[in-house]
Amino acid sequence: MGSVSNLKIDLVEVCEAAARACAPFVGSGQKDEGDGLAVDAMRSRINKVKMNGTIVIGEGAKDEAPALYDGEKVGTGEGIGVDIAVDPIEGTNLFAKDMPGSIVTLAAAPAGSMYQPGSCFYMDKQVYPKAARGKIDPEAPIADRLKQLAAALGKDVAELKIFILDKPRHHAMMKEVYAAGAKIRLATDGDVNGAIQAVLNMGSDALFGIGGTPEGIVTACAARAMGAEMFGRMAPQKDFEIELCKKEGIDTTRILTRDELITSDDCLFIATGLTSGAYVRHVKTGHDTYGKFMTTDTVVLDGGIGNIRHVQTTIHV
């Protein structure tokens, strides 16, 4: 049997191709145009990868998205079975405004190992670094969780910085975090970016809050690859979504563990920077004696090996 870990260079090139394709639209205000270019480039390159891949988390239901939709078969059809989760542009508003934290991201794991959320589009997430693994009670009040996290990291609560999306649904949570004495790093979009900061303990000590379920599955791969901690609970936000979840028997009270969201250590998380952030830089363009070039910066979290790899690639275009 092969390993998903062996596909990492090919899958890095999938993310790099998407980043190069959409990079000219960074800061243009045209997020849909950029996203379309990223999707097309990602799909073209991923179908050259020698694997029997299935998009488990993609651009949407088959009748809504023409490419990289949930259930789409990708790769050459040869080799090992692979579950794929993609977000061709994570943080589209950040991308459109050239604000920090927009990335191309992809996660991969053996076939059947990624949680399939059905019609629940939102997830309430808690993400913590490796030092906190097994030391957090996910159902405890926020103040208690912050004390547990501080003890695990050897910090005072006042030294903690929690990444939270700046959304009305989080205002009560933010008040609790502040009341407990911790700090908050706010962002308008991009909770995968915030979660990876927590996983790597680079810029944030944890992520709290409700964001997209697809992003939650991608994050779970990163957390498992690095031995970090994560919990998720399905959190439908709109009436039609609540009804769909009821019809599908989705338990919105149950907290899912990291290892329920992704059941294999043989998993990959890959992110290529579109705008600069805590752990990857933006796509750079320039000219030299050979002509125009583009340089991408990518981070790979490899659960099969348990390491972090940074890949910088320059090609002439």
- Partnered with residue 212 across adjacent β-strands are 122
Any known ligand binding at 288?
no
Domain assignment of residue 63, given as a range: 4-113+267-316
* Number of alpha helices (DSSP H) and beta strands (DSSP E) in the chain: 9, 14
146 in the same domain as 103: no
Determine the Cα–Cα distance for residues 222 and 258; give it in Å rounded to an integer: 10
Any known ligand binding at 98?
no
Any known ligand binding at 83?
no
Structure tokens at 93: 């508003």
Determine the Cα–Cα distance for residues 103 and 90; give it in Å rounded to an integer: 5
Any known ligand binding at 27?
no
Closest to 306 measured CA to CA, from 220, 241, 222, 244: 222
Any known ligand binding at 169?
yes
For the entire predicted model, the pTM comes to: 0.92
153 in the same domain as 76: no
Structure tokens at 145: 């969780």
257 in the same domain as 126: yes
Any known ligand binding at 122?
yes
AA letter at 243: E
Determine the Cα–Cα distance for residues 314 and 297; give it in Å rounded to an integer: 9
AA letter at 224: R
50 in the same domain as 21: yes
Per-residue pLDDT of the chain (317 residues; tens, 9 = 90+): 689 999 999 999 999 999 999 999 999 999 999 999 999 999 999 999 999 999 998 876 544 556 888 899 999 999 999 999 999 999 999 999 999 999 999 999 999 999 988 888 899 999 999 999 999 999 999 999 999 999 999 999 999 999 999 999 999 999 999 999 999 999 998 899 999 999 998 889 999 999 988 899 999 999 999 999 999 999 998 888 888 888 988 888 999 999 999 999 999 999 999 999 889 999 999 998 888 999 999 999 999 888 999 999 999 98
223 in the same domain as 286: no
Any known ligand binding at 24?
no
Q: CATH number of the domain that 250 lies in? A: 3.40.190.90
- 6 contacts: CB under 8 Å, gap ≥ 6: none
- Partnered with residue 97 across adjacent β-strands are none
